[in-house]
Structure 1
Amino acid sequence: MKHNFGAGPCILPSEVFQEASQAIIDFNNSGLSILEISHRSKAFEAVIEETEALVKDLLSVPDGYSVLFLQGGASQQFAMVPMNLLPQNGKAAYLDSGTWASKAYKEAQKFGAIEVVASSKDANYTYIPKEYTIPADAAYFHYTSNNTIYGTELFEAPQSPIPLVCDMSSDILSRKINVADYGLIYAGAQKNMGPAGVTLVIVKNDILGKTGRDIPSIFDYRKHAEAGSMYNTPPVYAIYVSLLNLRWLKAKGGIEEIERENIIKARTLYDEIDRNPLFKGTAKLEDRSRMNVTFVMENAELEKSFLALTEERGLVGLKGHRSVGGFRASIYNALTITSINTLVDLMQEFAEKNA
């Protein structure tokens, strides 16, 4: 058995893989593969409509918001957000809490003035900046809720006098949020929602169309909303697998139940990191992510041996990002407590042998 701690594309529930693989051969007894059905067919219209309905249900999306399924990943949203929300000769505010947040504001600088209100780069992004002021004269305030590389997470929406924009790629659907606090949320699917290839965007309709900018249609949120996410051919299979995963999450008990499980999983692993004399966490205690647990060894010379042991025992994806080193356990929604306990047991075993 493999225990997949990969940062993404990542683990999905086994039952989702079963259904998704069957649909490649024969989708809903149609005699056609999901890979070859028309995106304009009634069969796929039903898929995208149910997927949208489940997103709205699970996240309690209020009226006045559009739910979009786009392509290009979160990286494309780094440009689409300012293209659609930053007026010409206007400015936007950004929080720099990690690599992806940094990439986001650097892309936005191509469309207008960007004020970085705070950064934790000086400490290698091991904490979430807290002492900052959001400028009331900016068009929006952008932040990244979970920083996959550095293992930090911001659990509460900042109090803001301007629309909030959040990159929730790695913690969307993992905990309760109040969508009404945000002007726009975007998330690459490949952590908690589905496979790589589709990006979720939830946008408040009344913040659009105010930039004075002539936006190419393919990059205009309004065009995608008007077309029901089918302005061009959508990523059919990625949306279908996301539907299966959303059904799975709904059947489990929704966001409330998965958040309860995620809290237990993260606490179990962090408790072992703090207890075990061989290991130490890298993120500040108050900012520790529930999705990406980053840690190193007190004796760095032992890290290669421990990594080799994890791979030998079927625990994959634990090597830390090259900019941080050490280890990263990505413990997204579909990862079970059994996998967490297996890792904890191995950490204890390794400590006993290397005491």
Structure 2
Amino acid sequence: MTSLFDSHRLGELTLPNRVVMAPMTRARAGEDGLATASMAAYYAQRATAGLIVTEGVQPSPIGQSSPRTPGLHTGEQVESWRQVTHAVHANGGRIFAQVMHGGRVSHPDTIGQIPVGPSAVAASGGVFTPAGPQPAPVPRALTTAEVPEHAEAYAEAARNAVDAGFDGVELHGANGYLISQFLSSNANLRTDRYGGSVANRVRFAVEAATATVAAVGAHRTGIRLSPGATFWGVEETDTPRLYAALLAELAPLDLAYLHLEATTDEPTLRTLRALWPGTLIMNPVLPLGAKQTGHAEAAHWLGLGADLISFGRAFIANPDLVERLRAALPLAPVDESTYYQGGDHGYLTYPAYQHSA
């Protein structure tokens, strides 16, 4: 049976194990969306992962969702990321940047303008702003003519990522952000070629992926999806048919991987595994749910045909997670109060496992 500690070929990379560090927002970027020396140290500490996927990186100023998140749309931002990719590679790791356009999940106080979305429908709940949580605003609906430029923004960020030394990019198509909003049946009320039917609602995701493949190559392009998820108030009608149609459109692109979250029932996820011809990264537990991924969940999904397993919160408090899993060592608990507070405490202060004499 496949083990977490077997190697795996991913595009032109050979991963030494099947443990993936999942993307997690930590809100530690500097001014103007610059990556910092602390971010370089944070990712380098976790370079024993088979693959690191960074926190969401905005592809454009209007694509920023939350304060203190990094970007990949200016020359200064590209330059700032080189310290991160160099540090990870120097420690023997591999790293993809997650490209994340927030769409309607943003606020004028954060980006200086009204956020955009498929339709003028506000997200549910509060969004993060420099002054703290505020109600999500009603976004401006993109015109048909504007939509392609936002799909192309993912590709431009991917070019910048490769220039910054990243091994590839993951398009954030999950969790209620822009691609997910287009897939949705309640955030997307459009009547043009990007809304209504399943074929139209998957179009934006396919155009973003196609543009990114053209920009940096299929072997450097992955996508993350959350079938059936309701983050930020998105809803989807007929999730199995929607995602079967999406995968049918994405499969010919020969992407490096599909990254699925366990946001729907297992039979649907198993069907999607069968429909996807390439590498599957599985995030086996509900993001931010009560349970965290462990050995049992990883083994279960490796047995069901997943190729790689992504771990989220466990990587925050356990920079040496791969070795702890390999040696069945206890995992350190995470201090949730430090998730987004900024600074190095709760970011760089978790040690590797200390063996007793």
Mark yes or no: TM-score above 0.5.
no
Larger radius of gyration: 1
Q: TM-score when scaled to structure 1?
A: 0.26
More contact order relative to length (CA 8 Å, sep ≥ 6): 1
